[in-house]
Structure 1
Amino acid sequence: MENWGLQLPYPLEILPPKCPMLTTLLFSGCNIQSIPEGFFKHMHGLKILDLSANPIKNLPDSIANLKNLTALLLRHCRSLEKVPSLSKLKVLKELNLEATSIKEIPCGMENLLKLNYLNLNGIGDLYEIPDRALSKLSCLQDLIVGETVISGEDVGGLKKLEILKGRFFDLHNLNAYVQALHGREEPLEYIIRVGERGWVEQINTRKYIELCGCNIYTNQIILPHVEELYIKECNLNCSEGDPRFSRFILISLSTFSSLKFLDIYNCKSIKKLFSPNCLPLNLQELSASECNMLEEIIAIELGWNQSEKATMEFHLPQLRLFSLWNLPKLKSICSVNGVIVCDSLEIIEVRNCPKLKRMPLNLSQLDNIRLQPSGPLSPLICIKPEEWWESVEWDHPNAKSILEPLLRSCW
């Protein structure tokens, strides 16, 4: 049905089509530019209407009387700026307005009590959904609104939600959402952005949270069982003596038991990342970049019980990527007598970390590399500047000689 150039005209003296038994109308991608005002007047039995991917600018008001409609699909109608009132569509279950040009939610959307799928993703002019506009949609299972701001309290009241993709204005709304769950299971899949609009497009997991431009210092952070956490340009002015230090990323082991990917970018005031007893053991990728004040990755808090001579081992058994970029004050990865055991490590990146003089990584692969230099466990090491390699110390006595053939210069 592609490229029909359809306009669906009929002469004024001819009545609109009478198709009272018609249940499904699929006009997706037909290049429809206009639809006569009364076109749907005699289609009372219509249940599924798909007008997706058409250059249509206006919809006829007769759509508002399709009381048996269960699916209204208008995705990628990029010229569409307004949708008629939906208040009479009491049995509508699926509403897809993705990548349209509407500037506000359709009138009457709050009355769609049977709605279980709502997609408002990719609508650049739709900044936010008004408070309480979602609170009555108790059957909603899939809520996909992309960068549009939603109320944490409203979304938290949607007890059947299985997929959530949207943006909260601030951490207060994120906290309100999590608290409103009241012990219920979190959605099976979520992409939650908090604060300013970010730019991460490649998401590796089903449970992703992005904090961008948030003031974390004055907020208590409450996060679900997130698998991927991206933090950009946030105010994280905590010190190890501040009780909020332990709350930053490390509220509890159970909270972060599922965390697989952690990326911290351009957080100017953060000094520490982890405390020893709160490492996310399932972490696969750890990246920190452009954090001008970051001094230590695993920091010992005041009162931490440790022996001066005993070696402390911090285990990250699934860590594959360890990336440190442009961290001018980074002095240590962990304490003087600590080592990180990371037997799955595949890529090590160190770029412009001039004060970092020790790599306390316990790599059991080193002995395997010595026997099989091209083996599958050989980690790739990217550094800049190259002179850093000469000054850094490794805990393993033969690490430099074994790893040197694997060196690459970072671009």
Structure 2
Amino acid sequence: MWRHFELADVGIPVKRDGVHLVLTTRYRDVCEKMLCQAKIGVRPLSNEAAWALFVETLGSDLPPRRKLIAEDIAKECKGLPLAIVVMAGSMRGEFEDHVWEATLENLKRPGVLEQCMKESVFPILVHSYNRLDKNKQLCFLTCALYPEDWLIPRRELIELFIDEGAIHEDRRRKMYNEGHRLLDELEKACLLEAWTRIKRIPDGVICKLKKLQYLEADNIAVKGEEVGKLRKLELLRCRFENVNELNEYTLLVITIESYSLVITARSVTRAYRARIDDDYFNFFNRDKVIIMGEGEYKIGETCHLLRDVKALLIRGYGGGWNISSFMGLEELEVLWIKGCDEVSALGGSGGQPGEPEGQLEERTSSSPPEDHCPNLKIHECPKLKRIEMLDDASPPLSLKKIVLTVEVDGNREKRWWESLEWVHPEAKTTLEPYVFVDSVDGNIPLQECRS
């Protein structure tokens, strides 16, 4: 159906008991104006469904070698039912392997599938396009400037529409409103597809994948208990929505070769994900990474980390820690503290001074027998005034460096370092050789920076 109409005008008694009407259309607004009770969007077929349709249309059995080629041909049809039917129909009566191989190779070339579908599929798309007004046609053609399956930001498209003269309004806000309306119309006509971000894998799905070895779901939340029960898993990249999910995973998991976990309630944007990939992971260069997002938690108490974590980033945290909270993490190589506006102290096990105002966590009484202090990287923690790491005049044996990140030069960082409060009288002098400023020129010793 291309437009709506009153069913009573054509004599369809939809209100009579037992009468059900099913209609198909390329326009969502037709469904809405026809008062459809259920709207079912048609999505591309899965590989399994596409193969079943291919076999049904072909109507004959295939030997093992030809079957493998046929499966690849079905996949090249991209889940489009009409394309699958056209291709399967064209292969009826072909019994030579070289014919099937040649067909597959041809399909992999740009434009071949479109040519094969031209007689059956293209007229439908042309009809949809021809029904658009000139402005919508111009907007649709603008999208053809991008590669196939490209994710195009709406704002970027609207700017192009304005540049191409498809939108004429006297104010920017009106232009954007008109741009969004045009894109909505193209979506309703099924000529553009809106990108929907998957935020969470539904509960009960992962636990069924008992043989799963690799799970790469960077920005997708998963249930910690279900992932922790996967005994074949070797690589994991995912997001836990809260500390409880991390705790459940930590409690159940045995060992895993590589993981990258982000703990945050909010779905990570593509821009933020890119910053993590470009900055954090390049710096860590480790195969076992945990990124703790904003929140209130106590390491070792309400938050239990994997004991083999090698790199730990804590950002946006509102509390304070005792350094000994991390001592049990014997594999930890890097601790990066970023954007923790309220953290006022990183406590150690030496001395028992009064707690400064604003520190949220009580000091633990003593550190484990084998202290392991990671590299420290500190950035954007304006209230941090105390770093306590010394029981005596010697630094922890495992300490390699403390890195302060800076945007321009190290002067501000050196002044901040000199303003810190020290419990042990020799702490500042003893630790300063381990302190570096991370600038565009690399790690510069703090002692080389001007005051």
Q: Verify the 8 A CA contact 1:315 1:340 in the aligned structure 2.
A: no
What is the DSSP-based 3-state SS (H/G/I as helix, E as strand, rest coil) of the residue aligned with 2:342? coil
Q: Distance in 1 between the 2:108 and 2:219 partners?
A: 21
Q: Verify the 8 A CA contact 2:437 2:446 in the aligned structure 1.
A: yes
Q: Distance in 2 between the 1:384 and 1:174 partners?
A: 42
Q: Could you tell me which residue of structure 2 aligns to residue 359 of structure 1?
A: none
Letter in 2 for 1:126: I
Residues 361-372 of structure 1 correspond to what in structure 2 (within 5 A)? none
The one of 213, 224, 232 equivalent to 2:294 is 213
Q: Deviations over 1:144-197 (max 9, x none)?
A: 11110111111112122211100000111111111123xx22x11000000043
Q: Verify the 8 A CA contact 2:326 2:373 in the aligned structure 1.
A: no
Rg larger in structure:
2
Q: Verify the 8 A CA contact 2:311 2:335 in the aligned structure 1.
A: yes
Q: Could you tell me which residue of structure 2 aligns to residue 129 of structure 1?
A: 201
The one of 348, 359, 363 equivalent to 2:436 is 348
Q: Deviations over 1:257-311 (max 9, x none)?
A: 111122111111112224244697473x4211111221122257xxxxx6xxxx4
Deviation at 1:349, TM superposition (A): 1.0
Query: Residue 135 and residue 53 in structure 1: after superposition, are their counterparts in 2 closer, same or farther (change >3 A)?
Result: farther
Query: Residue 340 and residue 53 in structure 1: after superposition, are their counterparts in 2 closer, same or farther (change >3 A)?
Result: farther
Q: Distance in 2 between the 1:79 and 1:132 partners?
A: 31
Q: Distance in 1 between the 2:277 and 2:108 partners?
A: 24
2:235 aligned with 1:163: yes
In structure 2, stretches of 5+ residues that fail to align are 1-55, 93-103, 114-146, 152-194, 350-366, 407-411
Residues 229-244 of structure 1 correspond to what in structure 2 (within 5 A)? 229-236=312-319, 238=320
Q: Could you tell me which residue of structure 2 aligns to residue 200 of structure 1?
A: 276
Q: Verify the 8 A CA contact 1:168 1:194 in the aligned structure 2.
A: yes
Query: Residue 205 and residue 172 in structure 1: after superposition, are their counterparts in 2 closer, same or farther (change >3 A)?
Result: same
The one of 269, 287, 309 equivalent to 1:226 is 309
The one of 9, 12, 16 equivalent to 2:58 is 16
Deviation at 1:126, TM superposition (A): 0.7
2:327 aligned with 1:253: yes
2:336 aligned with 1:294: no
Residues 8-407 of structure 1 correspond to what in structure 2 (within 5 A)? 16=58, 19-21=62-64, 22-23=67-68, 36-38=83-85, 78=149, 125-181=197-253, 184-185=254-255, 187-195=256-264, 196=266, 197=268, 198=272, 199-202=275-278, 203=281, 204-216=285-297, 220-224=302-306, 225-236=308-319, 238=320, 245-246=321-322, 250-251=324-325, 253-254=327-328, 256-276=329-349, 277=367, 281=372, 283=374, 285-298=375-388, 311-317=392-398, 319-320=400-401, 322-323=403-404, 325=406, 331-332=420-421, 335-338=424-427, 348-349=436-437, 380-381=444-445, 386=450, 388=451
Q: Distance in 2 between the 1:52 and 1:194 partners?
A: 41
Letter in 2 for 1:160: K
Q: Verify the 8 A CA contact 1:253 1:280 in the aligned structure 2.
A: yes
Q: Distance in 2 between the 1:261 and 1:341 partners?
A: 20
Q: Could you tell me which residue of structure 2 aligns to residue 397 of structure 1?
A: none
Q: Could you tell me which residue of structure 2 aligns to residue 62 of structure 1?
A: none
Number of aligned residue pairs: give it.
Answer: 259
Q: Could you tell me which residue of structure 1 aligns to residue 5 of structure 2?
A: none
What is the DSSP-based 3-state SS (H/G/I as helix, E as strand, rest coil) of the residue aligned with 2:247? helix
Q: Distance in 2 between the 1:385 and 1:53 partners?
A: 59
What is the DSSP-based 3-state SS (H/G/I as helix, E as strand, rest coil) of the residue aligned with 1:322? strand
Q: Deviations over 1:295-350 (max 9, x none)?
A: 122257xxxxx6xxxx42122546256225577695146632336878995x7118
Q: Verify the 8 A CA contact 2:393 2:430 in the aligned structure 1.
A: no
Letter in 2 for 1:297: I
Q: Distance in 1 between the 2:429 and 2:76 partners?
A: 59
What is the DSSP-based 3-state SS (H/G/I as helix, E as strand, rest coil) of the residue aligned with 2:208? coil
Q: Distance in 1 between the 2:344 and 2:205 partners?
A: 41
Q: Distance in 2 between the 1:52 and 1:226 partners?
A: 43
Q: Distance in 2 between the 1:201 and 1:28 partners?
A: 35
Q: Verify the 8 A CA contact 1:313 1:340 in the aligned structure 2.
A: no
Name whichever structure is richer in strand by fraction. 1
What is the DSSP-based 3-state SS (H/G/I as helix, E as strand, rest coil) of the residue aligned with 1:291? coil
Q: Distance in 2 between the 1:23 and 1:296 partners?
A: 65
Q: Distance in 1 between the 2:448 and 2:310 partners?
A: 30
In structure 1, stretches of 5+ residues that fail to align are 1-13, 44-48, 57-75, 81-122, 239-244, 301-305, 352-378, 389-411
What is the DSSP-based 3-state SS (H/G/I as helix, E as strand, rest coil) of the residue aligned with 2:332? coil
Letter in 1 for 2:277: E
Deviation at 1:27, TM superposition (A): 7.0
Query: Residue 133 and residue 250 in structure 1: after superposition, are their counterparts in 2 closer, same or farther (change >3 A)?
Result: farther
What is the DSSP-based 3-state SS (H/G/I as helix, E as strand, rest coil) of the residue aligned with 1:201? helix
Query: Residue 205 and residue 220 in structure 1: after superposition, are their counterparts in 2 closer, same or farther (change >3 A)?
Result: same
CA RMSD after TM alignment: 4.8
Query: Residue 77 and residue 144 in structure 1: after superposition, are their counterparts in 2 closer, same or farther (change >3 A)?
Result: farther
Q: Distance in 1 between the 2:203 and 2:108 partners?
A: 28
TM-score scaled by length of structure 1: 0.51
Q: Distance in 1 between the 2:309 and 2:380 partners?
A: 23
Q: Distance in 2 between the 1:152 and 1:26 partners?
A: 36
Query: Residue 268 and residue 339 in structure 1: after superposition, are their counterparts in 2 closer, same or farther (change >3 A)?
Result: closer
Q: Indicate the percent of aligned positions where both proteins have the same amino acid.
A: 18
Name whichever structure is richer in helix by fraction. 2
Q: Deviations over 1:6-36 (max 9, x none)?
A: xxxxxxxx95386442225557998979562
Letter in 2 for 1:286: L
Letter in 2 for 1:180: L
Letter in 2 for 1:380: I
Letter in 1 for 2:305: L
Q: Verify the 8 A CA contact 1:211 1:232 in the aligned structure 2.
A: yes
